[in-house]
Structure 1
Amino acid sequence: MGRLESVLAVAVLLFGVAAPAASASCLDYADYPDSTPFLSSTPTTSARQLSVRDGVACVADYTAGLRVLDVSDPTAPQLVVTVPTGSQCLGLDWVGDRLYLACGYSGLVIVDMADRWAPVVLGAVAPWGFEAAVRVAGDFAYLANAYGQFDVVDVSDPSAPVAVASLAVGWDEAKDVELFGDYALVPSGENGLRVIDVSSPATPSLAATFATAGRALSVAVDESLAYLCDENHGLWILDLGDPLHPVAVGDQAFAAGQYCLDLALGGGFAYAPVGATTLVIDVSDPAQPAIRAELAGGDLMRGVALGGGLLFIAEFQAGVRVLLPQCGDLTDAPDPALRGNALSLNPNPFNPSTSVHFLLEAPTTGRLSVLDVAGRHVASLAEGPFAAGERIVEWTGRDDAGRQVAGGVYFVELRTEAGRAVRKAVLLK
């Protein structure tokens, strides 16, 4: 039994839900309205936000600072190390080998992550007030300040970061920040979304505002679209084609009392923690977003992230939960015409390579490819015409440029004249 298959069996025992298919690499959570099948849970004291990369999850913990989890085995994540970074850590950004944490009155804390299991604090600076969120680009860190400010810190020397600018964005709290080219997007409560020109980081200036129905709390960006959570309404989807004039192209109302402090985007879905549940919102058509399902938890869900083909949710007291992502079009069942064609991988999960087997009942033309969890092309494995019979192709975990890809979930796709078949591939690291 493979790792994900055994995970699903454990989920059945723990949560009493019906078992998905053994080959599942995602779930349609609309099929689980009463009990969400989490894969695992790692207790922490007060998880707020997290970032996941290459089997490592970094968690901003409100009371403990930075917690680093080994999530290479999603069935049994392990807390490896806790780094005291000052209390009240709310947000983080992982860039290269450095992690930047927004830790309330402790300000900005910079951590060296070159050795993932032995992180070291490099430097810190407390600019002005209570830092709640951070994003980094180049030599500058941009922070949302709960005192209604937007702060800029020069991090070119991580051992001695220097606060260089602060801009008032309104009387209400600023709890999140996202970057879009030369602009920073800052949800500023009752002040709506502030668009700030940071083309000159030392002299940021207010460039535009998008008024919301209630308190703007969190924002995420995908290409030229911004996804904005509003406490009194729900989710707004904004076109940033002209950042000076953001335009709403779609919206999805939430139930009364639901609001999100974080968002994760992937596979045509937005994941929005809204208290004791996380909403799964189909945003494949930005003009018509729709709630697909709700993921039930046991505590306040604060942070959410996608990584390695999995979904991670930070619950304030219950800890970090690991789930399969919501199924989208990519991971639907194979076309009926290809169900008779054996497409399999052995071993799976694998490291460093796996053999892809497929059986064709008749000669055909086609292509065998590897895609990532978002459906993007990773590698071409074979291209026909193919003769009838069995073929075996090796994938060594590399892309078309010969680069080793990160560990996680991928999809091997076979397309022929008869149709399409897809199988998951789990690369271990």
Structure 2
Amino acid sequence: MQRRRLSSLVLSLLLAACALAAPAHASVTLGALDTPGEAYEVAVDGTVAYVADGSGGLRIADVTDPALPFELGSFPNPSFGGARDVVVAYPLAYVAQGQTGLVIVDVSNPAAPALVTTYDPPGGGVAVDVELAGSLLLVADSHGGLRLVDVSVPALPAEIGAVSALGDVSDVELQGAVAWLATATGIHAYDVSVPSSPQFLSNPSGFVYNTVEVVGHRLYTDALDAWDVSDPAAPLPLSNATGRIGDFEIDGERVLGTVGGGFAIADLGDPDRPVRFGDMQTCGWRAIEVAGGFAYCTDLFDDFRVWDVSDPMRAHEVASLPLAGNDVRVLGRHAYFAGTDGLSVIDVTDPTAPAVVGTLNALGGAGHVDVWAGVAAIGVSGGIGLANVSNPAAPSLTGFIPLQGSGDTQLRGDLLYVAAGLDGFRIYDVADPLSPQLRGAVPFGSYTERVVVQDDVAYTTTVNDRLRIFDVADASAP
């Protein structure tokens, strides 16, 4: 049985790596199946996929032909709450069902999965993640720590051990006899070879994490953090961050990511051993753009700041402006800043002396911005504003595309690619900004928030961490 787990960080890195490094048509969507819920996790057993679909319960799909997946059956009983994770040991599926705890389902007949039993962690626990090793089930209880459950008799699951003094546990990863836990009190390792008496091994970090992954002898988290865990009792730090990733830029073999109240730089020359240079804690965490050896970053509650990152070992701030916002793009001599006051155009000819040269606040606060050949696409509440910025000192509104919310935007020539919130993924022809025309659309079942386009391939993510890849060579039929 194969299990596929994609945290928000992994999805974001995959999105950026594909968009920045992959040749045209290197990846295309083989197929997709839109489930009614949020699709938190998926386990694959042979040609059958089992989806922990949040409010949609457990969904079972045939993926024999990846281009044409179809649903075989479901176990959506709403009384069991949201399905957060699933592992399968045929003919049984073990589902972490939040406040209901653990649900064990017989999936021998995929068209009619049947309840075997439920297990409710003591004290009103909330099951958010599960791992299975033989007849031992590890349950991450976000309210009660780690639960070790004997499922040798599936109809009679019995707790045989627990680790409760951890704070909330959001994720568990089992490597041999070692359980790695992402908790409110950091990363913890426990030896569970004797399930009735789990033994503490190490706590390499006290930072709050949501996700932990172990690949070989490397441990990674949902921040720019990595450890060598060849000896679980004495993990060796490879890179350490101080927060989870917000936005990031890949610059050659370096990744600059916003974390906590600033950003971090890591060298990815050796992907197996990322080298952390350090944190720049006075640079905003909302967005970051790298151009010409300088990093331009912003924060909703802080200033627009410029850092010299030409030498990552000696990165330092060179300038700032009192602007608060969400996004920034740099094109040529100007930075285009989406902020609480709308669009600001900043002259960065001399990055050490940035100056606002033009503003456009006709649409109110802006969340996203992209610029191409004198046109700016500005994401605001209720849609996308199109502006003429050929004269940076006097940007002017030329058109508007109404949407049910808007996420990211990408302008490429006359085409505007939009992560259109509740309207899914959309492509508009903006050759005439006064009258933008819808060219193609793909509706999603959840809020679409990010899009990156490289050549004829578009990569989108949704608020529930789904990655979708589209061939957009024909904009009318993505």
**What TM-score, normalized by structure 2, do the two folds share?**
0.47
1:99 counterpart (93, 101, 105): 93
Alignment CA distance shift 1:41-1:201 (3 Å): same
**Could you give the per-residue CA deviations for residues 334-379 of structure 1, whole angstroms, max 9, x where no partner exists?**
xxxxxxxxxxxxxxxxxxxxxxxxxxxxxxxxxxxxxxxxxxxxxx
Distance 1:227 1:255, change over 3 A: closer
2-structure distance, mates of 1:199, 1:301: 43
Cα displacement string for residues 262-312 of structure 1 (whole angstroms, at most 9, x for unaligned residues): xxxxxxxxxxxx9xxxxxx9797321289xxx9x9755699xxxxxxxxxx
Give the AA of the match of 1:105.
Answer: Q
For 2:58, what is the secondary structure of its paired residue? Answer: strand
**Could you tell me how far apart the structure 1 residues matched to 2:230 and 2:448 are?**
32
1:177 maps to 172
1:30 alignment partner, one of 20, 27, 47: 20
Structure 1 residues 287, 202: closer, same or farther in 2, change over 3 A? same
- One-letter amino acid of the counterpart of residue 211, structure 2: S
Give, in whole Å, the separation in 1 of the partners of 2:18 and 2:197.
Answer: 47
**Equivalent pair of 1:240/1:246 in contact (CA under 8 Å):** yes
The equivalent of 1:157 in structure 2 is 153
Distance 1:284 1:108 in 2: 40
Question: In the superposition, relative to structure 1, how do residues 255 and 135 fare at CA in structure 2: closer, same or farther (>3 Å)?
Answer: closer
Deviations 1:95-129 (A, max 9, x none): 34322111112111122333444433222211131
- Whether 1:135 and 2:131 are equivalent positions in the alignment is yes
Q: Which secondary structure does the structure 2 equivalent of 1:209 belong to?
A: strand
Give the alignment partner of residue 87 of structure 1, picking from 65, 81, 88.
81
CA distance in 1, matches of 2:23, 2:65: 27
Aligned to 1:145: 141
2:228 corresponding residue in structure 1: 239
SS at match of 1:30: helix
**Partner residue in 2 for 1:57:** 49
Q: 1:48 to 1:316 in 2, by over 3 A?
A: farther
Do the aligned residues in 1 keep the contact of 2:461 with 2:468 (CA within 8 Å)? Answer: no
More relative contact order, 1 or 2 (CA 8 Å, 6+ apart): 1
Query: Out of 197, 201, 204, which is 1:203 matched to?
Result: 197
**Higher alpha-carbon deviation: 202-211 or 149-158:** 202-211
CA apart distance, 1:205: 3.2
The one-letter code of the counterpart of 1:187 is A
Say if 2:180 and 2:188, in contact at 8 Å, map to a contact too: yes
Answer yes or no: is the 8 Å Cα contact 1:238–1:249 preserved in 2: yes
CA distance in 2: counterparts of 1:29 and 1:253, whole angstroms: 26
Deviation at 1:315, TM superposition (A): 5.1
How much does 1:186 deviate?
0.6
SS in 2 for 1:257: strand
Quote the residue 2:216 is aligned against: 223
The count of aligned residue pairs is: 258
**Equivalent position SS for 1:47:** coil
Contact preservation (8 Å) 1:49, 1:314? no
Query: Aligned-pair distance for 1:256?
Result: 5.1
Q: 1:184 to 1:255 in 2, by over 3 A?
A: closer
CA positional deviation for 1:252: 7.7
Distance 1:66 1:283 in 2: 41
| Matched letter for residue 180 of structure 1 | Q
Change (3 A) 1:38 1:106: same
Structure 2 residue 120 is the aligned partner of structure 1 residue 126: yes
Measure how far apart 1:175 and its partner are.
Answer: 0.9
Q: Decide whether the 8 Å contact of 1:132 with 1:175 is kept in 2.
A: yes
CA distance in structure 2 between the partners assigned to 1:175 and 1:256 by the alignment: 17
- Contact kept, 8 Å, 1:224 with 1:240, in 2: the verdict is yes
Residue of structure 1 aligned with 2:246, choices 257, 260, 267: 257
Q: Are the equivalent residues in 2 in contact too, given 1:57–1:70 (CA < 8 A)?
A: yes
1:2-401 matched pairs, under 5 angstroms: 28-30=18-20, 37-44=28-35, 45-84=37-76, 86-128=80-122, 129-171=125-167, 173-189=168-184, 191-212=185-206, 214-229=207-222, 234-250=223-239, 257=246, 285-288=271-274
Corresponding residue SS for 2:20: helix
Shift of 1:183: 1.4
Shift of 1:133: 0.3
CA distance in 2, matches of 1:289, 1:184: 26
Tell whether the 8 Å contact from 2:121 to 2:141 is kept in structure 1 after alignment. Answer: no
Q: Which has the larger radius of gyration?
A: 2
> Judging changes above 3 Å, is the alpha-carbon distance between structure 1 residues 221 and 31 closer, same or farther for their aligned structure 2 residues?
closer
Tell me if the contact between 1:99 and 1:111 (Cα under 8 Å) persists in the aligned partners: yes
Percent of aligned positions that are identical: 26
RMSD: 4.0
Q: Residues 93 and 87 from structure 1, CA distance in 2 versus in 1: closer, same or farther, beyond 3 angstroms? A: same
In the alignment, the residues of structure 2 paired with residue 255 and residue 249 of structure 1 have an alpha-carbon distance, to the nearest angstrom, of 16
- Where structure 1 has 5 or more consecutive residues not aligned to the other structure, the ranges are 1-26, 260-273, 275-280, 303-312, 325-429
Counterpart code for 2:232? P
**Aligned AA for 1:126?**
D
3-state SS, counterpart of residue 141 of structure 1: strand
Question: Are the equivalent residues in 2 in contact too, given 1:169–1:188 (CA < 8 A)?
Answer: no
